[in-house]
């Protein structure tokens, strides 16, 4: 097979990029190691910045998102006793949209056949070749047969554990990583949310988050040591801990119910530089990971593929090589700003094992400052709603 762009990974980043390229008549093929059903079965968050909702509208795939998504004008920080509302609509003139990453993926997958986007699922042993030249190719095994795709460019949208980043020589790439000493224990339940907006809570016992997937489905998290096991946490134990950490007002409005899903997700901050080498480009989790505190993961993937699609469209339609040459520098500038915000919010809202009374009092003072300072709230709101492209 031969194409202009081979895209590895059929998560949101890969599918968004594929749709953007096909909309401009550029040939591309998406290769994915998992099945479509497996991808849709993954539970992921979905607080969408304007950059992501604009991208779905640009693709004319935003109708269900606008019908079923939940626009939010703000969110809340809690210190165990009070809620500090950050009114992002009043402070920035923008909203965020709560719409699950799974639903974004489903919209992109469903539209692929009619828009000529070829996606090959269940591709085993995916490998990249000759990425330093102008004629790279991808090999993989499908139904027991080895296949090959020749392309002008390869785009790695295959996540943190995919083969794309591994194809960049160690002498070229440099990883920056911070692994956090806790994970998020999440519970999903078919119960109404305790608040119509998200609540990020900092309590003496630790962090908690109250969020939602719909008016009737809630997603809650607490932070736990990385050594914890999900089977040691009954539903009742999680609900009790949430009620304590979220504070009395949220607890009074919290509806308990049986879990649909429970899991513990480790937290890390990670950036790989550069995000390109030769004819290979990285986008999304293949290049960077953020802790979920700032709700930036999917949104960074959307900004990556916006930059990357513009660069590739310029190359193929106008013979503009500057865009592809400058992709990594442009994308990383936004990545690091989002990493900074996610890291700082994680530091503010979590208790770290080595923290003592001094660190705790600093957190309390910072939350008090945010509650009383419009300037502090503007800074948080601007970053939460998404910095400009």
The residues that are catalytic are 72, 200, 292, 296, 384
The CA distances from residue 88 to 66, 238, 302, 374, 382, in Å, are 19, 30, 21, 11, 7
Stated length of the chain: 389
Tokens 């134990």 -> residue = 237
β-pairing verdict for 199-203 and 206-214? antiparallel
CA separation for the pair 157, 151 (Å, rounded) = 16
Q: Are the C-beta atoms of residues 225 and 351 closer than 8 Å to each other?
A: no
Q: How many CB atoms lie within 10 A of CB 96?
A: 28
What SS3 state is found at 340? helix
Sign of the dihedral defined by the CA atoms of residues 315, 321, 322, 328, in that order: positive
Please tell me what DSSP assigns to residue 61.
-
Angle 43-44-48 from CA coordinates, rounded to 5° = 150
The continuous run of DSSP H or E covering 240 comes out as helix 235-246
Q: Are the C-beta atoms of residues 385 and 88 closer than 8 Å to each other?
A: yes
Would you call the peptide bond into 43 cis, given omega within 30 degrees of 0 as the criterion? no
CA separation for the pair 346, 292 (Å, rounded) = 9
- Comparing CA positions, the residue from 154, 174, 172, 176 lying closest to residue 164 is 154
* Per-residue H/E/C for 254-320: CCCCCEEEEEEEEEEEEEEECCEECCEEECHHHCEECCHHHCCHHHHHHHHHHHHHHHHHHHHHHCC
Q: Retrieve residue 124's tokens.
A: 């085993």
Angle 383-108-381 from CA coordinates, rounded to 5° = 10
CA separation for the pair 134, 285 (Å, rounded) = 25
């Amino acid at each position: 097979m031969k194409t202009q762009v081979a895209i590895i990974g059929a998560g949101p980043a890969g599918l968004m990029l594929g749709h953007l390229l096909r909309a401009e008549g550029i040939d591309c093929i998406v290769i994915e190691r998992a099945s479509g059903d497996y991808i849709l079965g993954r539970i992921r968050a979905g607080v969408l910045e304007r950059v992501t909702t604009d991208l779905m509208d640009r693709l004319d795939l935003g109708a269900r998102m606008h019908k079923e998504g939940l626009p939010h004008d703000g969110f809340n920080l809690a210190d165990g006793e009070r809620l500090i509302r950050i009114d992002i609509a009043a402070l920035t003139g923008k909203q965020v949209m709560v719409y699950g990453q799974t639903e974004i993926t489903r919209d992109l997958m469903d539209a692929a056949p009619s828009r000529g986007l070829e996606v090959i699922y269940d591709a085993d042993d995916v490998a990249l070749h000759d990425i330093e030249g102008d004629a790279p190719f991808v090999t993989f095994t499908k139904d027991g047969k080895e296949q090959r795709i020749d392309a002008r460019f390869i785009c790695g949208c295959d996540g943190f554990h995919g083969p794309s980043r591994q194809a960049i020589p160690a002498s070229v790439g440099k990883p920056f990583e911070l692994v956090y000493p806790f994970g998020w224990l999440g519970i999903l339940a078919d119960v109404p949310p305790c608040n119509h907006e998200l609540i990020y809570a900092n309590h003496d016992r630790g962090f908690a988050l109250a969020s939602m997937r719909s008016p009737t489905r809630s997603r809650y998290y607490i932070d736990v040591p990385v050594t914890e096991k999900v089977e040691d946490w009954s539903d009742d134990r999680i609900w009790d801990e949430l009620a304590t950490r979220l504070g009395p007002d949220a607890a009074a409005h919290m509806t308990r119910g049986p879990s649909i899903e429970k899991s513990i997700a480790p937290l890390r901050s990670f950036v790989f530089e550069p995000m390109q080498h030769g004819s290979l480009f990285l986008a999304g989790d293949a290049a960077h990971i953020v802790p979920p505190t700032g709700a930036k993961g999917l949104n960074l993937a959307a900004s990556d593929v916006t930059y990357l699609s513009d660069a590739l469209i310029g190359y193929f339609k106008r013979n503009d090589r500057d865009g592809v040459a400058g992709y990594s520098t442009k994308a990383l500038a936004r990545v690091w700003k989002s990493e900074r915000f996610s890291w700082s919010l994680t530091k503010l809202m979590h208790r770290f094992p080595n923290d003592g009374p001094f660190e705790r009092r600093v957190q309390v003072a910072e939350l008090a400052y945010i509650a009383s300072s419009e300037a502090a709230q503007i800074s948080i709101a601007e970053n939460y709603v998404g910095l400009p492209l």
